[in-house]
Structure 1
Amino acid sequence: MNSTKRTLGTVIMALGIAGTATAQNNVVIPPARIGLYGGLGLDGNSPSIQAWRTPLPNNPNILSFRNDTARIKDGSTGLSGAFGIMGGFPITRTIHFTGRLGYNNVNGSAELVERHVDTTLTHKLSGSVGLLEVTPAVEFYDLLPVSIHGIVGLEFGIPLSSSMTQDATISASGFEGTQRLSGPDNIPNTTVRAALMLGAGYTLKLSEKWYLQPEISYRIPLTNVSSDVTYSPWKFSQLRLGVNIFFDISPDPEGKPAARNGISASMEKIVAFDPDGKEYPVSVVNVEDVRYNEMFPLVPYVFCAENQTQPDTMLQRTNVSTEQGEFIPESLPLDAVEVNRNLLNIIGTRMQKYPQASLTITGTTDGKTEAKAKELARQRADFAKDYLVKRFNIPSDRITTNTTTTPAKASSNLDPDGIAENRRIEFSSNVPDVLTPVVITADNQRVATPDVISFHPKVESEDSLKSWSLRISQAGRPLRDLNGKGRPMAISWAIRPNELSAAQVPVDYEFYAADADGDTAVISGSLPVEYVSSVRKRTENLPDRTVDKYSLILFDFDKATLNDDNARILREMVLPSIKSNSRVSIVGYTDRIGNDEYNRKLSKERAETVKAFLSSQAKDAKYTSSGVGESSQIFSNDLPIGRQLSRTVQVIVETPRR
C-alpha cells in the first residue's frame, strides 16, 4: 500500500511538471489515427505467497525453519517494457476513444526473513508474466488551459508466459548457504489481468500527418496473478512512461480539400467593446446566473422573397395551431430573430386580447424587379389577413388592407439589401399594445460577459476568396455556424442567454476559408469560460444582480432624434427598471448598409440621445453611452429582419441584488 501511495505521488508530480512545460495558447487536438506505442514500466509488487511449498528443500538446516503459515509479502519494484499498435478517433473535439493491442511484461521480486536464535533464513522470490495487452480507453482534450489530455481506460492482459524462481539463504555465525527451492517454473493458474489505467499526455504535431505523444500512466491492478490460493493475493501495479507515434488517417472533410500553399489563415484578434465603445481583447468569457429580463422589439414588417406572395416558412412561422393551446409570446426563446419570426402569431394573439383594436395591413413591392407585378402587393396583404382570420378567428371587418408600389418609409433602392427590404407586408394598429415589444422575464439565466464577441481572421491568398465559415462549439456541442462569401473583416457572435453551458468548459472555434482555386485554410482555437452559478453566489456570498435589456428600433431614417414611439417605450418600459444604484449602458448599432464611419457617428448620436432622455428622468443612476456602428453585427445582416434589428440602440440596466 505504501508503495502504491509513493507511486501515485510520483505520477501527480510528473503531471504537474508536464502541464507547466506544455502550456501554450493553441492546443493540438489529434485527428483519427493509427500508429505504434512503447513504454518503460516500473512495476510495484504486492505479493502474499506461501513460503514453504513442495518440493521441500533437502537441506536439514533450512528445513528446520519450516512454517506452513509463513508467506512472502515484502515486495520490491521491477522494470518492464511494453510495445504494440494503437489507434483512436474523436467522438467530439473533447472526447476521443482509443485502443491498444500489444505485449506487456510485469515482473518483480519479494522476500521473507525468518530468524531462529542466531540463525537467519531469507527467502527470495522473483516472478514475471508476459501478457497480450488489450487496452480500450477514453482521452479528454482541451479541458485545461495547458496542452494536457487525460486518459482513463481498462487494461486487459491475457497470459502468454510466466516464470518464477525462489531461493533460500541460511546464514549463521561463520556459515552461509543458499539452496534454490524452485524454478524457473511456470506460475500455476495464471489469470487474465485487469487493471484501471489513469494517465495524461500531450500531443506534438511533427508534420502535416505525423504526431508524437509522450504520456505517463498508472495501472491499478484489479485481479491477482494467479487463482491458486498458494500464490494469492499477488498483484502488480505499473507506472509507465511511454510514447506514441501515429499517422493521421482522417479523410478530408467533404468539400474541404487539404490545405495547399496558396492560402494561409490566422486569427488576428478576438475582441469586444466596453461600455465606452472601446475595443479590448477577449481572453476569457465570464458566464453568470442572473435574474434576466429582455424587451424584444417587434419589426412591424413581414418580408417576402422576390415575386413571392407570402413569406418563406423559415423566415416567418405560419404553422401555429391554435387548437393545440394558446400561443404565448412570453414563452418564446430569448432571441430577437425568433420572436420576430412569430410576428403574425403575436399580432393574432394580441388582436384577440384587445377586441377594440383594428389592424391595417399594407402590401408593398420593391418598385424595381417587381414593378410589373400589379397584383403582387394585394396578394401579399391578403395572405396576412387570411392567416389572421383563419388561424386566430379575427373578424375580417377589423382588418383593412392597402397596397403601395413601394413602402412609405422605404429602405435604400440603390442597394440590393435595401431593395430586398422593400418586398414586405406592413402592419399598423390604432392600439399601440398590438405591436408593443415582447418582454420575457426569467430567473437564473446564464448571461455572458462580453455578450458580443468579434473574431478578426486574417487570410492571405494568391487568389480571391470564395467563401468562409466560423463554427463555434462547446464540449462538442455546436453553438453557432456563421458563413459568408468573399473576404471576412469581422465576424460577430452575439451570445444569447443560456447559450453557453453551466460549466467551466472552453468555447472552441474553427475558421475555414476557401479561395477561387479551391485552396483552403483552417485554423482553430479556444476561449476559456469562467462560470459563476447562483448556488456559488449564495455559498460564497458573492454579489448578485438583475439585468434588464431593452432594444429600440423605431428611429426615423438617418435621424438621431427620439420619435413618439421610442419615447413612450423609454418612459413606460425602461425607466421603471432604473434604480438609484443601477448602472445603465447604452450602445448604438447599425446594419452594414452605408459608410462605416458615418454609421458609427449616427449610432453614437442615437445612444447619446437615449442617455440624455433617461438621465434627465432617473438622475442618480450611472450612465455610459457609445456607438459601434456596423463594426459589431449583433444579428445576421444577410436577412432583412437581421438588418432591421441591427439598426438599434440597446439599453442594458444592471441593478445589484441583495
Structure 2
Amino acid sequence: PSLRFAPSKGNFYLYGGPRFAFNQNKEFTYQQGINPDYPNQVAPADVISDFSDVEKTIISMQVGMGYDMQLSKSTSKTQLVLSPFVAFHPYFGQNPRSIETWNLTTVRAGAVLKIGSGHRITPEEVIVKIPEVTFLVTSPVNVPGDLRVTETFPLRNYIYFDENSTDISKRYVLLNKDQVKDFKEDQVEVFKPNTKLAGRSKREMTVYYNILNILGDRMGKNPNSTIVLVGSSENGSAEGKLMATSVQKYLVDVFAINASRIAIEGRSKPKLPEEQIGGTRELVLLREGDRRVSVESSSPALLMEFQSGPDAPLKPVQINAVQVAPVASYVTFKVDGADEAFSTWQMEITDENGVVQNYGPYTKEEVSIPGTTILGTKPEGDYKVKMIGTNKTGEIVTKESTTHIVAWTPSKVEEGMRFSILYEFDDANAIAMYNKYLSEVVAPKIPANAKVIIHGYTDVIGEEDYNQTLSVKRATDVKDTLQNSVAKLGTTGVTFEMNGLGENENTAPFGNNLPEERAYNRTVIIDVVPQK
C-alpha cells in the first residue's frame, strides 16, 4: 500500500508507503564442482537444505514517482491508464535472517496498466440566478463657456520629510540667495519643483512646494511676524528637532530671517497625528504623514482671515488659473448592480472609424474618464461602448450603448471663483474652524443667481465606504454653512450642488502617492459659477 500525492494539477505524482514481504521458500541447493587438474574426479552430490533463522515477514518502506497516461476517452465507461513509474526500496527493515545483516537495496522501474469501470453521473441541475445589471453612459455636452476660475488655494502648513532623513526633501523648491529678489508669491510657477506632477493638480502643487519660499517672503515683508517650527519624527523628539532646524536654517540663510523670530521644537508625534493609538492598518502611509515639520504662528500677517492661535491655517495663495477639465466634464460609465453581479468588468469603446480602445478591468460600479482621454486630439465624436462583465460563475455578460463625446475646452473670461478648506486626517469637524471664513469671506463673494458647486473628498487611507460617508459629511457641513450665510446676506437666486466623492482616484483633485497629496485630498472644494 502507498499514499499518493500530486504536487500539481497535472498527471505527475509522488507516492510512498510501507512494503511487506512474506517468505515462501527458504530452501537452497549447494553444488560442488571437480578440480580441473583431475578431470576423472567424480563431483560430490548436491546438498539440498533450508536456511536457518529466516524471517517469515519483512516490513520495510518504498518511495517513488510516476505519471498517468490516459489511454481511453474521459467519457468512456471503461477507463485505461498506463502509469510508468520508478521506485526506490531502501535496505531498511529488509534483513532476511535474524542472525545476519543481509540487506537488499533496489531501484525499480516499470509500468502499471490500470483498468477501471464506472457509470455516468448526471449532475443535479442547479439554477443560478444571475443578478440583472444596467449600463448607462453619461457624456456632458461640454459647450465651451466663458468661465475661468480665480482660485483661493489653502497653504498646508506642513513640510514632509523623507524617511530616515533630517534634510529638506528635494520635492520642495529651494532657492539660493540670488534668486530671492526674483521670487513673487503670485508667480510661483517660475520656480518649479523637481517632482513629476499630474496635470490636474500641477499648478496647485507647484504653489505648495514653494511653501518655504512663500513663508520666507511673507516673513521678510512682515518683520514683526514670528513662527514656531515643530518637527515630529517616529525616531524621537531629537530627530524631530533636527528636522525643524533644517527649515529654520533655510529661512535664515536664504531669506535672511533673524533666527530669534523662528522658535523650534521636537516631538515624537505631531500634535494632530494621523496614526492613532491602537491602529494596525496602513501604518506606513500614516507614519509618512506624521513625519513632518508643522509651521505655527500667532502673527495675523501670516494667517488666514479670522484665524488665530498655533493651529491656525496659513494665509491662502491667490491663483489666477486657466481652468483644467472639471470632474463634471468627464464621461461617466455606470454599471448598476456590478458589485453583486460581476467580479470585474471592462469596456470596448469604438469610434466611427472602427478604432477600438480598451479600458478596465474595473470592480467599482461607476467610472469617470476625461473626454479628452477617449477623443485624443479630436474635438468630438460618436462612439459605441460595449461593457463586458465577468460574473461570479465565470460567464461573460455584455451590454452596449452609444454616446456622443464633446471635448471640454478652457473658458476665456475670468469670472468664476474657487475656494478650498482642508481637514486633518479622519476629521469631519474642520467646519468649526472655517465657519467664520465661509460666512464672512466666501459667502459675500457669491453673486445673485450664482451656482455653487461643492465637492467633498478624502484620501485613500481607510475603508472606501467610510471615506464616502466622510466626504459627504464634509461637503454637507460646508453647504449648510454657506446656504445659511447667503440667506442672511439676502443674496437671491443662488443654487447649490453638492457631492461627496470619497476616495475615488478618478475624481480626486490630487494624487495619493505622497503625504502632501493625501493631505490636500482631505478637502472640500467650492466652485462659485456666475450665471447669466
What TM-score does the superposition give when structure 1 sets the normalisation length? 0.43
Q: Give the whole-Å Cα distance in 2 for the aligned partners of 1:338 and 1:349.
A: 16
Where is the strand percentage greater, Structure 1 or Structure 2? 1
Q: Give the whole-Å Cα distance in 2 for the aligned partners of 1:437 and 1:419.
A: 26
Runs (5+) with no aligned partner, structure 1:
1-267, 272-279, 458-464, 466-485, 509-524, 535-543
3-state DSSP of counterpart to 2:147: strand
1:597 aligns with one of 465, 487, 510 = 465
Matched residue, 1:294: 151
| Deviation of the 1:410 alpha carbon | 0.5
Matched residue, 1:441: 320
Q: Give the whole-Å Cα distance in 1 for the aligned partners of 2:182 and 2:135.
A: 43
Q: Give the whole-Å Cα distance in 1 for the aligned partners of 2:420 and 2:181.
A: 29
3-state DSSP of counterpart to 1:332: helix
Matched residue, 2:501: 628
Q: Which amino acid aligns with 1:380?
A: M
Matched residue, 1:649: 524
1:346 aligns with one of 185, 200, 214 = 214
Where is the helix percentage greater, Structure 1 or Structure 2? 2
Matched residue, 1:563: 432
> Is residue 375 from structure 1 mapped to residue 238 from structure 2 by the alignment?
yes
| Deviation of the 1:309 alpha carbon | 0.7
Q: Pick closer, same or farther for the CA change 1:488–1:429 going to 2, 3 Å.
A: farther
| Deviation of the 1:398 alpha carbon | 0.6
Q: Give the whole-Å Cα distance in 1 for the aligned partners of 2:436 and 2:430.
A: 13
3-state DSSP of counterpart to 1:335: helix
> Is residue 529 from structure 1 mapped to residue 407 from structure 2 by the alignment?
yes
Q: Which amino acid aligns with 2:407?
A: V
Structure with the larger RCO, 1 or 2 (CA within 8 Å, 6+ apart): 2
Q: Pick closer, same or farther for the CA change 1:456–1:325 going to 2, 3 Å.
A: farther
1:13-46 per-position Cα deviation (integer Å, ceiling 9, x unaligned):
xxxxxxxxxxxxxxxxxxxxxxxxxxxxxxxxxx
Runs (5+) with no aligned partner, structure 2:
1-132, 190-201, 303-313, 336-343, 345-360, 384-402
Q: Which amino acid aligns with 1:384?
A: V
2:270 aligns with one of 407, 413, 429 = 407
Q: Pick closer, same or farther for the CA change 1:322–1:609 going to 2, 3 Å.
A: farther
Q: Pick closer, same or farther for the CA change 1:578–1:303 going to 2, 3 Å.
A: same
How many residues are matched?
Answer: 321
Q: Give the whole-Å Cα distance in 1 for the aligned partners of 2:167 and 2:404.
A: 42
3-state DSSP of counterpart to 1:551: strand
Check the 8 A contact 1:296/1:437 in 2, yes or no.
yes
Q: Pick closer, same or farther for the CA change 1:502–1:449 going to 2, 3 Å.
A: farther
Structure with higher Rg: it is: 2
Q: Pick closer, same or farther for the CA change 1:456–1:350 going to 2, 3 Å.
A: farther
Q: Give the whole-Å Cα distance in 2 for the aligned partners of 1:310 and 1:270.
A: 52
Q: Which amino acid aligns with 2:166?
A: T
Matched residue, 2:162: 305
Check the 8 A contact 2:371/2:408 in 1, yes or no.
no
Q: 1:165-184 counterparts in 2 under 5 A?
A: none
Matched residue, 1:639: 514
1:121-179 per-position Cα deviation (integer Å, ceiling 9, x unaligned):
xxxxxxxxxxxxxxxxxxxxxxxxxxxxxxxxxxxxxxxxxxxxxxxxxxxxxxxxxxx
Check the 8 A contact 1:283/1:527 in 2, yes or no.
yes
> Is residue 319 from structure 1 mapped to residue 178 from structure 2 by the alignment?
no
3-state DSSP of counterpart to 1:563: helix
3-state DSSP of counterpart to 1:656: coil
Q: Which amino acid aligns with 1:623?
A: F
Matched residue, 1:548: 417
| Deviation of the 1:338 alpha carbon | 1.7
Matched residue, 2:187: 331
| Deviation of the 1:553 alpha carbon | 0.3
Q: Which amino acid aligns with 1:609?
A: D
Check the 8 A contact 1:290/1:447 in 2, yes or no.
no
| Deviation of the 1:488 alpha carbon | 8.1
Q: Give the whole-Å Cα distance in 2 for the aligned partners of 1:418 and 1:653.
A: 33
Q: Which amino acid aligns with 2:498?
A: S
Q: 1:50-89 counterparts in 2 under 5 A?
A: none
3-state DSSP of counterpart to 2:531: strand
What TM-score does the superposition give when structure 2 sets the normalisation length? 0.53
Identity of aligned residues (%): 26
2:328 aligns with one of 450, 457, 482 = 450
1:581 aligns with one of 449, 453, 459 = 449
> C-alpha root-mean-square deviation of aligned residues, in Å?
4.0
Q: Give the whole-Å Cα distance in 2 for the aligned partners of 1:558 and 1:324.
A: 37
3-state DSSP of counterpart to 1:618: helix
3-state DSSP of counterpart to 1:559: coil
